[in-house]
Amino acid sequence: IIIYPCMNVLFVCLGNICRSPLGEGILKNICDHTGLDWNIDSAGTGGWHAGESPDHRSIKVAAKHGIDIHQQRARQFKQDDFDKFDHIIAMDKSNFKDLTSLTSDPNHLAKISLMMDFDTASTFRDVPDPYYDNRFDLVFELVTNACNGFVQKFAEVPISLLY
Ligand code: 4NP
């Protein structure tokens, strides 16, 4: 057997109610199916929705794929997340810029990445904000593919265990 080191992964979007809760739910689901014991969380650069459940449309698209995210609660990104997490994954370039503006520590900066960089085949550079245009199916697909790419890159689990 191969034992992989524990990883601490944080997904970050603007409100932590649409995109990053899907990242958290989808990567947790992949970890459940592949036996990876990772610590996965999500946060928003903004705090307007702190304490709220995910957007009902994110809950619905996740449920359609057998993933339950309704118990998640939104929270704002905080400074000590830079120390607690190994990978801080921004859903779009704006989130990435906001995160990099919160630290000047090179160790912190090195942890920040852009979600779609984990799907090298995709033409999307950003996971688009679906709040106003309702593209939750697209977001689910993009986040799933990028999560699979992330796991392939860092855990090297057999492709047959992904979905
Ligand atoms: P998220 O989507 O960043 O994917 O959670 C948004 C949710 C709420 C708002 C913007 C984006 N908002 O402006 O309230």
**CB contact at 8 A, 14 and 45:** yes
> With 80 as the cut, is the pLDDT of residue 163 above it?
no
Q: What is the dihedral of CA 47, 111, 29, 128, to 10 degrees?
A: 60
Mean pLDDT of 132-157: 93
Q: Which of 18, 19, 31, 81 is catalytic?
A: 19
Q: Which of 41, 55, 81, 129 is catalytic?
A: 129
User: What pLDDT does 112 receive?
Assistant: 98
Question: pTM of the entire structure?
Answer: 0.94
Distance CA 117, CA 159 (A): 19
Distance CA 4, CA 35 (A): 10
Residue with CA closest to ligand 1 atom 3: 14
Q: Which of 127, 131, 140, when mutated, tests ligand 1's pocket best, judged by the most ligand atoms within 8 Å of its CB?
A: 131
> With 90 as the cut, is the pLDDT of residue 160 above it?
no
